[in-house]
Structure 1
Amino acid sequence: MFPLAKNALSRLPVRGIQQTVARQSHHKRTPDFHDKYGNAVLASGATFCIAVWAYVSILD
């Protein structure tokens, strides 16, 4: 590896990134909208889609 590239890589703030990741992993994450309602929204959307397709296919 070239000395210039080796010097540039050694100056990257790897330690700071590792500390930030470690700090963030200890926090309890509160559930967001997708955690609370994601499956219900997906199921209701799929039900609606199937119901509309069934209704349209019956009319045709």
Structure 2
Amino acid sequence: MMFPLARNALLSLKVQSIQQMIATQSHQKHSLDFHDKYGNAVLASRVTFCFVAWVFVITQLGLEWNLSPVRRVTPKEWREK
């Protein structure tokens, strides 16, 4: 069993080394990763691509949307039998 004075000294050394390690890590600059550098640009390019793709689909593929049947529906002639 260790003497209380030696044990407290060792414990305080461990605590001080941990505190120094935390202090040096907090003062280091955070290096930018891929998402920090290019995240917004990638998001903007994907949104732009999807928007352009939908504009192309809506305008160029000749889809008939039939939004309103007014003046599009012509009644058939009624015939008696």
Q: Which runs of 5+ in 1 are unaligned?
A: 1-14
- Corresponding residue for 1:55? 56
Amino acid at match of 1:47: T
Q: In the alignment, does 2:47 pair up with 1:29?
A: no
After superposition, the C-alpha distances for 1:1-59 in whole angstroms (9 at most, x for unaligned) are xxxxxxxxxxxxxx7xxx46555322211110011111110110010000011111112
Find the aligned partners of 1:48 and 1:40 in 2 and give their Cα distance: 12
TM-score (norm 1): 0.57
Runs (4+) of structure 1 exceeding 3 A deviation are 19-24
Q: Which runs of 5+ in 2 are unaligned?
A: 1-14, 64-81
Aligned length: 44
| Greater helix content | 1
Find the aligned partners of 2:58 and 2:48 in 1 and give their Cα distance: 15
Find the aligned partners of 1:41 and 1:50 in 2 and give their Cα distance: 14
Find the aligned partners of 1:41 and 1:34 in 2 and give their Cα distance: 9
TM-score (norm 2): 0.44
- Corresponding residue for 2:43? 42
Q: Which has the larger radius of gyration?
A: 2
